[in-house]
């Protein structure tokens, strides 16, 4: 099948690479010429395990190509996936300007029947908007259909999630149109759900909002545990073994960040309001999440005393492990608040140092390793739970620090082990390990 994927971010590039790997002829289009030139040269614009190898293999086999010419790509293709950015506005409303611009260009270039697929995360009703924009920009009336096919990939495991998804959701106007997508996804042999178009659009937001609610819920429980002397890790295990609840997304910490959960939660709140419903539950989820960084920074301030002239090593900058994505990363707010309180910052991330340097003040000193960042520090703030940090030589780390003090924002270490190693250790929802 001839496929066009518009947008070469996480969703578009991974989607294009996987469809090419399944034997389709895929053309990925982006209006950023520098990005397309880099992709043609074999340089990935994002860090994602396994992506570079898959892209290179399919480019070499001539199943995958990159272009800035959307019109030619539309005419070449049978199915067009829209996978452009849908960033939030200040109000929380989703900015659909990129989707609308692509839809207009598709309409102008359309020369025969096409299936246009919304892969971008968009609020309910966008499918009808895309249909209206395409129709309005057609030079002559041509039949086409719009389908919703939301993505559920996680950065850091995007290839695996695309090849082996829990479910494939296809929102289509008719069964016949849905079968085009069913045929495309059939080689994956994964469960498929065929719905009407609005239901598919709601499924994506409802799924992300529910997972965000689990995160905020366990963080609220962590606050209770800290006040009561309980251990949120044990509470989480006791809850998560109930199959109705499950362990996933039930880890206390600094809350959710990244490019999806924050904007999707805000967008669903805004959509609900537009439709006449005050989503109070979800507003509380967002409010609890906003408090998490301040909670950690207050913990640091109470233990260290005045932060003026104190050096804090921040370990982990990307919003989650196995990605270099800094969008809505908790590290940015942690560092901003610590610097506002007078602290000096040393920082390190296994892959996101480069992206972080473009976002953080020049006064932040970047280490070449966790040990380099920790040298001479009064404390460590662990922000992102990279596996590399799980296996640090903690005795070596303690010897490098001015004071063996760790604030673990992701509960990466066991308190009893930190006690044996001579650390003063603070984590989320658990009793602190205090100096003897």
Q: Is 337 helix (H, G, I), strand (E, B) or coil?
A: helix
From residue 43, alpha-carbon distances to 39, 51, 84, 116 in Å are 5, 11, 20, 28
The single-letter DSSP state of residue 251 is -
Q: Alpha helices of 142-276 — where are they, by DSSP H?
A: 158-163, 175-185, 197-228, 232-240, 261-274
Distance, CA of 175 to CA of 178 (rounded, Å): 5
Q: Which of 4, 28, 225, 260 is catalytic?
A: 260
Residue owning tokens 């739970």: 385
Residue owning tokens 């559920």: 152
From residue 89, alpha-carbon distances to 23, 96, 284, 334 in Å are 38, 10, 20, 23
Burial bucket for residue 161 (CB in 10 Å: 0-12, 13-18, 19+): middle
And the tokens for 123? 């609020």
Q: Is 192 helix (H, G, I), strand (E, B) or coil?
A: strand
Q: How big is the CA angle at 323 (ends 361 and 369), to the nearest 5 degrees?
A: 60
Return the closest-CA partner of residue 122 out of 43, 201, 231: 201
The dihedral over CA atoms of 13, 15, 21, 25, expressed in degrees to the nearest 10, equals: -90
Q: How far is CA 131 from the centre of its chain?
A: 28
The H helix count followed by the E strand count for the chain is 19, 14
Task: Reply yes or no on whether 28 is catalytic.
Answer: no
Distance, CA of 288 to CA of 291 (rounded, Å): 5
Mode of pairing for the β-strands spanning 311-315 and 192-195: unpaired
Burial track 30-49 (b if 16+ CB lie within 10 A, e otherwise)? bbeeebbeebeeeeebbbbe
389 backbone dihedrals φ, ψ, rounded to 5°: -75, -25
Catalytic residues: 260
């Amino acid at each position: 099948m001839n496929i066009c994927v518009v947008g070469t971010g996480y969703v578009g590039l991974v989607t294009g690479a996987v469809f090419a790997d399944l034997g389709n002829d895929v053309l990925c289009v982006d209006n950023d010429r520098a990005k397309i030139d880099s992709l043609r040269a074999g340089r990935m614009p994002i860090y994602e395990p396994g992506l570079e190898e898959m892209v290179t293999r399919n480019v070499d086999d001539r199943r995958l190509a990159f272009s800035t010419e959307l019109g030619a790509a539309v005419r070449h293709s049978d199915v067009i996936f829209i996978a452009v950015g849908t960033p939030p506005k200040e109000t929380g409303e989703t900015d659909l300007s990129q989707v609308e611009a692509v839809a207009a260009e598709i309409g102008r270039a359309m020369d025969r029947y096409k299936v246009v697929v919304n892969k971008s995360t968009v609020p309910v009703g966008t499918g009808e908007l895309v249909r209206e924009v395409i129709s309005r920009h057609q030079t002559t009336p041509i039949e086409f259909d719009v389908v919703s096919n939301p993505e559920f990939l996680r950065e850091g495991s995007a290839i695996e999630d695309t090849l082996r998804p829990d479910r494939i959701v296809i929102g289509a106007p008719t069964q016949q149109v849905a079968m085009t997508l069913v045929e495309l996804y059939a080689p994956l042999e994964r469960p498929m759900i065929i719905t009407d178009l609005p239901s598919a659009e709601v499924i994506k937001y409802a799924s992300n909002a529910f997972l965000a609610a689990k995160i905020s819920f366990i963080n609220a429980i962590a606050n209770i545990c800290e006040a009561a002397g309980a251990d949120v890790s044990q509470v989480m295990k006791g809850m998560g073994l109930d199959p109705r609840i499950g362990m996933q997304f039930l880890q206390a910490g600094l809350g959710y960040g990244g490019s999806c959960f924050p904007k999707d939660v805000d967008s669903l709140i805004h959509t609900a309001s537009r439709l006449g419903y005050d989503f109070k539950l979800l507003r509380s989820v967002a409010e609890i999440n906003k408090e998490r960084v301040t909670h950690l920074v207050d913990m640091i301030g109470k233990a260290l005393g005045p932060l003026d002239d104190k050096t804090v090593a921040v370990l982990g900058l990307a919003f989650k492990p196995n990605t270099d994505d800094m969008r809505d990363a908790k590290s940015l707010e942690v560092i901003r608040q610590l610097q506002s309180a007078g602290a000096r910052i040393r920082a390190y991330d296994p892959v996101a140092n480069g992206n972080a340097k473009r976002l953080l003040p020049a006064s932040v000193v970047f280490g070449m390793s966790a040990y380099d960042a920790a040298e001479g520090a009064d404390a460590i703030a662990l922000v992102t739970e990279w596996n590399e940090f799980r296996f640090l030589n903690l005795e070596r780390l303690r010897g490098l620090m001015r004071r063996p003090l760790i604030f673990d924002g992701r509960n990466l270490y066991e308190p009893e082990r930190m006690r044996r190693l001579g650390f003063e250790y603070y984590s989320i929802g658990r009793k602190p390990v205090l100096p003897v």
